[in-house]
């Protein structure tokens, strides 16, 4: 997350600072432990930070050689500083973390380093063993008990009362920090007022970004896709839509984990986020165009972040950018690889961060890459996460509507689920409007004015199969309704009256169709409903063959509807 905050600082610095008007110039600090630096995500994020030359990123490494289970010599004996030096970081060592002056000098040197992020290894001591010995203290994850608190205070020479004791020196330092903060904020406001007078358009854009205020016409150029039985992959439609949105909302920034153009997440003409010195390493050729230089957007002003194969770091960096403020970060990868970034997605949900995930290649229709790449349990798994909204559009126009919802969704992360394969663009003059997915679920096709005998409930690429089955059942005089349940979370936010109108409680004959795990579907189809899904791993085959072999066909849906009706 610290790397994400540092990226945001560089982006705003490049976008807004003007000669004589420096309104963005701050450092990002963190304190990290041995345990933090053991984690794989630390290596992912540190490697990218070194590559991006994020010189305003300063980490103090609390090098106490203790982790939860004991001394680090049990598990962690590498030379951490050399590892970070290899990542391109500026390294310093402080031998005594209790000596404030050397720590201050090291921080000052780190601030003077303009291109390399800094790691300051600070040697400290942490005791372990019995709290009743004068020179040692127990290490554990629980709060200190009364006896341990007393022993600690005696060791420090602090008074035993009051129970919650703050030394006067510490209190004075905190008060000083509050006063200093107020002064610095006032000075910045003066700078910004001067900036506003000289560059009113930039100042207005800054305030709009920081307050997530969009132009009234921000969605006017989002394409509308004509009906087409051959169709378009929703990942492709997503790419067209997000590029139009980015032309009106400069807050959109992000990238994919080494999967462009497969995820269609490149913001065309918006440049690649790189240090200028790194960009200059590319020759004047097509390589430079890849880096975004041809668009005239160089370096840290670029909105496309090349994450490399670093899904976990990508997720957490997106969280850091969202926490910084003013940005709407997006992160793209195949749905199967959401596993790698799941801890970061969970934290975004926990913190209610506005992060947009673009998860493509959403089913066994992925094809020949086989079961290692074909998501099965992933939709169910993401839906189980509190605070995360998941939406799986049925066609290109629903993909456009899904993006509109995601951009305006301000109370948590949003997962957009898109297909690799082409899916028909549904004729909205004949069937329900694509805007229906704003409510999570809606009636796509119906037997009105007659009451339906059976309800077919589908999402994503399976919605058109349900519609085809509906049309065939109609020729057999079987009255069916098709419900597109694109987002369970949005549907559950609707009134009970609306939900009952879409899925009437008295209609028990229901069939769900989704190319993923059937887990959770019985909430909507009932215990007697039939779930067409896949509860085992897939197989390597062309996508259309995999779908056919595993029962995602019009004929199978019709047969299951007949079976449920006893016909």
CA proximity to 6, closest of 308, 275, 281, 288:
275
CA proximity to 3, closest of 50, 63, 36:
50
CA dist., res. 484 & res. 457, Å (int): 6
The one catalytic residue in 9, 44, 311, 453 is 311
- Count of helix runs (H) and strand runs (E) in the chain: 21, 18
CA dist., res. 551 & res. 359, Å (int): 24
Do strands 454-458 and 480-484 pair parallel, antiparallel, or not at all (unpaired)?
parallel
CA dist., res. 251 & res. 248, Å (int): 9
Q: Residue 122, SS3?
A: strand
Give the sheet arrangement for strand 530-532, strand by strand. 442-445, 480-484, 454-458, 510-513, 530-532
Please, are residues 541 and 547 in contact by the beta-carbon 8 Å criterion? no
Widest CA span in the chain: 89
Contacts of 381 by beta carbon, 8 Å cutoff, 6+ apart: 342
CA proximity to 488, closest of 512, 465, 521, 463:
521
Tokens read off for 304: 């496309």
Please, are residues 60 and 53 in contact by the beta-carbon 8 Å criterion? no
CA proximity to 61, closest of 12, 146, 118, 140:
118
Please, are residues 309 and 336 in contact by the beta-carbon 8 Å criterion? no
Determine whether 169 is an active site residue.
no
Please, are residues 199 and 207 in contact by the beta-carbon 8 Å criterion? no
CA dist., res. 552 & res. 544, Å (int): 9
The alpha-helical segments, DSSP class H, found in 325-429 are 338-351, 378-383, 396-408
CA dist., res. 341 & res. 55, Å (int): 26
Q: Which residue has the tokens 């997006």?
A: 330
CA dist., res. 152 & res. 313, Å (int): 38
Q: Which residues are catalytic?
A: 311
């Amino acid at each position: 997350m610290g790397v994400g905050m540092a990226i945001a600082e560089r982006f705003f610095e490049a976008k807004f600072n003007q000669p004589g008007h420096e309104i963005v110039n701050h450092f990002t600090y963190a304190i990290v432990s041995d345990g933090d630096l053991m984690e794989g995500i630390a290596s992912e994020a540190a490697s990218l930070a070194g590559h991006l030359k994020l010189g305003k990123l300063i980490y103090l490494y609390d090098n106490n050689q203790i982790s939860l289970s004991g001394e680090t010599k049990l598990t962690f004996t590498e030379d951490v500083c050399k590892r970070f030096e290899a990542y391109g970081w500026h390294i310093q060592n402080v031998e005594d973390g209790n000596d404030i002056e050397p720590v201050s000098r090291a921080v000052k040197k780190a601030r003077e380093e303009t291109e390399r992020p800094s790691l300051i290894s600070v040697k400290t001591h942490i005791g372990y063993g019995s709290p009743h010995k004068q020179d040692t203290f127990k290490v554990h994850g629980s709060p200190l008990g009364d006896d341990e608190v007393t022993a600690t205070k005696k060791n420090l020479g602090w008074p035993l009362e009051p129970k919650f004791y703050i030394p006067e020196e510490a209190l004075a330092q905190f008060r000083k920090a509050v006063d200093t903060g107020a002064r610095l904020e006032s000075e910045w406001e003066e700078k910004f007022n001067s900036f506003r007078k000289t560059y009113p358009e930039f100042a207005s854009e800054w305030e709009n970004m920081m307050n997530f205020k969009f132009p009234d016409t921000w969605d006017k150029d989002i394409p509308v896709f004509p009906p087409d039985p051959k169709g378009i992959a929703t990942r492709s439609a997503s790419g067209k839509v997000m590029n139009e949105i980015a032309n009106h909302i400069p807050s959109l920034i992000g990238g994919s984990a080494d999967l462009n153009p497969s995820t269609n997440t490149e913001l065309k003409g918006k440049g690649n986020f790189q240090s200028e010195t790194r960009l200059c390493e590319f020759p004047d050729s097509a390589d430079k165009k890849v880096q975004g230089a041809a668009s005239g957007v160089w370096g840290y002003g670029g909105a496309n972040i090349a994450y490399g194969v670093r899904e976990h770091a990508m997720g957490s960096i997106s969280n850091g950018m969202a926490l910084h403020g003013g940005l709407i970060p997006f992160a793209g990868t195949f749905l199967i690889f959401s596993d790698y970034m799941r801890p970061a997605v969970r934290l975004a949900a926990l913190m209610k961060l506005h992060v947009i995930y673009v998860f493509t290649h959403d089913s066994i229709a992925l094809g020949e890459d086989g079961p290692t790449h074909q998501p099965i349990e992933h939709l169910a798994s993401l839906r189980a996460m509190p605070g995360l909204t998941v939406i799986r559009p049925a066609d290109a126009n629903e993909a456009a509507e899904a993006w509109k919802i995601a951009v305006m969704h301000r109370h948590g992360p949003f997962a957009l689920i898109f297909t690799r394969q082409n899916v028909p663009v549904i004729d909205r003059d004949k069937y329900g409007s694509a805007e229906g997915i704003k409510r999570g679920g809606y009636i796509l096709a119906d037997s009105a004015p007659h009451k339906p005998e059976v309800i077919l409930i589908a999402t994503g690429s399976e919605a058109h199969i349900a519609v085809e089955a509906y049309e065939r059942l109609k020729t057999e005089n079987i009255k069916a309704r098709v419900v597109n349940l694109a987002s369970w979370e949005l549907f559950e936010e609707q009134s009970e009256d609306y939900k009952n109108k879409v899925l009437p409680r008295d209609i028990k004959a229901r069939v769900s169709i989704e190319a993923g795990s059937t887990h959770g579907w019985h909430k909507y189809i009932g215990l007697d409903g039939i779930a067409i899904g896949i509860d085992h791993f897939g197989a390597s085959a062309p996508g259309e063959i995999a779908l056919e072999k595993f029962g995602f066909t019009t004929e199978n849906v019709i047969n299951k509807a007949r079976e449920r009706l006893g016909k």
